[in-house]
Amino acid sequence: MRPGDVIEAAAAGFGLDFDRRVALERVAGLARPRVASSAWIGCFVAGALAAGCGARTPIETDGDSEGQPPGGAGTPGACEVRVPGTASGALDCPGCPVLEGAAALSFEQTTDNSVFDIRSAELGFVRGNDGPGRWRIEGNAGQLNEGAVVTDAGGSYDTKAPLFCGPQTLDLGFCNDAGTAGYRFSIERQSCLEGGLHVTLSWGAGASDLELHLVREGAHINDPIDDCTWTTCVSSSPNWGDPADTTDDPHKDIDWLSDNGVENIELAKLEPIRYGVLVEYWGTGGPIAADIVVNAFGAVTQATSPTMSPQTVWVVGTIDARTQLVALQEGALVDCASAWESGCRLPIP
């Protein structure tokens, strides 16, 4: 990927057929992505790749397993984080990782929360897995999102996944050479507006604290009102747009402070403006690549950052509500060390 290359997703066309290989089609001008032929989401989170996920097949829910209930469907000989079938429940197979919480869980859930805790304290420890697991969410309107589930030697894990509004499935899978064990939850998130904008950042081990920013048109990173980030948007929301309307106010519903992170910003109703997305390497650690997934306008767009070091900023791209176009750049990195004061003070974007 060359600096300056742009990834775009049109307003229509992806539906359920998001495919990273297509979403990442490099375009020099204004070419539109093609519709993919299969429904899978890549193993694209940098941390998971670093931890060995790149050698594995990502979570998949299509193909010949369609319609089968979970259970006994592991794939011997291939360590694939895959949850086949469409029914909610627990997937198990001989020799596969053991998920200890399966018997106690409710796989059909309704919630008002925008975040699902993927935590062994509630979901049960996992034994016998090989490498990190994956979570994958598919919304009823074609939204897709995915992330890594890093486990420790004791089989515990603790991460979060942002929920879309309305019905969705959440798959959680762990694999070894015998196959995959996992859960499929059917979740209906209520008391929310369907549609809108979801921007999700993720990164892997060795980098403690990146920061996701969503900036209103005309404003810069770390603006005290028009930048939604950790200072403005976690415990409350800035009042953007119509002062009498809270649905056009953004919220950072996942803010991560260490490594193997995930962050998410949700905006239910967009103003007819262009929003900017930026990522700061706020804390300490080694070089790392981060990933962004944007769900907006019925399309899924994702991009991977250039190698980031502390006090650099990835100028990820723009989300234009007037044209319904998401344009992401994989090469735009700004060194902000000369203007760093509790965050980048450069007037970017």
Residues lying near Ca ion in the complex (CB under 5 A) are found at 209, 211, 239, 241-242, 245, 248-249, 256
Min dist CB 143 to Ca ion, Å, is 23
- Our CB check for Ca ion shows the closer of 83 and 210 to be 210
The nearer residue to Ca ion, 98 or 334, going by C-beta atoms, is 334
Rank residues 180 and 208 by Cβ distance to Ca ion and give the closer one: 208
CB of 114 to Ca ion, least distance (A): 17
Of 204 and 241, which has the nearer Cβ to Ca ion?
A: 241
How many angstroms separate the CA atoms of 300 and 158, rounded? 25
56 three-state secondary structure: coil
Q: How far is the CB of 126 from Ca ion (least distance, A)?
A: 26
Please check whether residue 180 is in contact with residue 243, taking contact to mean a CB–CB distance below 8 angstroms: no
One DSSP character per residue, 274-332 reads: EEEEEEEEEEEES-B--EEEEEETTEEEEEEPPPB-TTEEEEEEEEETTTTEEEEESS-
**Secondary structure of the chain: what % helix, strand, coil (to 5)?**
5, 40, 55
DSSP string, 77-95: T-------SSS-EEE--TT
Is the CB of 140 or the CB of 246 nearer to Ca ion?
246
For the CB of residue 247, give the shortest distance to Ca ion in the complex, in Å: 7
Contact 313, 333 (CB under 8 A): yes
* Least Å from the CB of residue 269 to Ca ion: 9
Q: By C-beta, is 152 or 245 nearer to Ca ion? A: 245
CA distance 52 to 59: 14
CB-hemisphere CA count at 13 Å for 16?
11
- CA distances 188 to 17, 47, 84, 234, Å, are 22, 29, 20, 23
3-state secondary structure of 146: strand
Residues in Cβ contact with 64 at an 8 Å cutoff, skipping those fewer than 6 apart: none
Minimum CB distance to Ca ion, residue 191 (Å): 18
Q: How many residues does the chain have?
A: 349
Q: How far is the CB of 257 from Ca ion (least distance, A)?
A: 6
Closest CB to Ca ion among residues 60, 249: 249
User: Is the CB of 194 or the CB of 248 nearer to Ca ion?
Assistant: 248
**Of 211 and 253, which has the nearer Cβ to Ca ion?**
211
Alpha-carbon 189 to chain mean position: 17
CB of 134 to Ca ion, least distance (A): 21
Output the smallest distance, CB 229 to Ca ion, in A. Answer: 8
CA angle 70, 72, 78 (to 5 degrees): 105
Distance CA 264, CA 286 (A): 22
